Chain A
Amino acid sequence: AQSVTQPDIHITVSEGASLELRCNYSYGATPYLFWYVQSPGQGLQLLLKYFSGDTLVQGIKGFEAEFKRSQSSFNLRKPSVHWSDAAEYFCAVETRDDKIIFGKGTRLHILP
């Protein structure tokens, strides 16, 4: 069965530090992969998506993610976080029957 695992429930980094949020998926074919961000009281916002081609994907707000087929991973990175990046981040995969399966999320805390 298709699944998405985000192993870190909470991550805390200092403002200005680099960030990497981990995501592993289980899927039999080349997946469509997504990262969404959810701020308190806000809807989910798409940060970036991977369908095919270049495995390093650039997104909004300075985020990027790298698709690694050999590791079944799609980790999200940002070189320098800002206090406004504090939010919950969801990795997601689109399945063969066009459903989107979300991970359980990683809550990012930023230290001043």
Chain B
Amino acid sequence: GAGVSQSPRYKVAKRGQDVALRCDPISGHVSLFWYQQALGQGPEFLTYFQNEAQLDKSGLPSDRFFAERPEGSVSTLKIQRTQQEDSAVYLCASSPLGRTDTQYFGPGTRLTVL
């Protein structure tokens, strides 16, 4: 079956632009996670959904970051007024049930802010 997919795979934005990153989790997976991976670093947790409910958004770095999963399946991470420090790979992961289940990661979206 299909794994986690993310689109676009690469995004270049001018500083100040808004961007939207999409994640398609594995069908039927309840939990969905977003991570930010800066160059040379490990992934850092951004936010977590269980179905359509956003249960934890403590990792979102600022109020310019917003995530949604309105129907409990596809999720979108939106970044408003992008800044250069937002340049990173944004990873999405899904798991069948709760947070202690194995997380399956997508290939990521590489965002470059000029």
Contact = CB atoms under 8 A, between A and B. Distances in A.
Contacts of B56: 97-99
Interface in B34-85: 40-45, 48, 56, 58-59
Contacts of B40: 104-105
If over half of A's interface residues share one DSSP class (helix, strand or loop), that class is named, otherwise mixed; here it is: strand
Interface in A46-88: 46, 49, 51
Interface size for chain A: under 10, 10 to 19, 20 to 34, or 35 or more residues? Answer: 20 to 34
B89 to A, nearest CB: 10
Interface size for chain B: under 10, 10 to 19, 20 to 34, or 35 or more residues? Answer: 20 to 34
Q: By CB atoms of chain B within 10 A, which of A36, A46, A98, A103 has the most?
A: A98
Contact of A49 (B48, B99, B102): B102
B42 A102 contact: yes
Contact of A100 (B3, B45, B104, B106): B45
A99 B42 contact: no
Contacts of A100: 45, 99, 103
A100 B105 CA distance: 13
A102 B46 CA distance: 13
Interface of B: 3-4, 40-45, 48, 56, 58-59, 91, 93, 98-100, 102-108
17 contacts: A4-B42, A42-B107, A43-B93, A43-B108, A44-B43, A44-B91, A45-B105, A92-B42, A97-B56, A98-B98, A98-B99, A98-B100, A99-B59, A101-B45, A102-B43, A104-B40, A105-B40
Interface of A: 4, 32, 36, 41-46, 49, 51, 90, 92, 94, 97-105
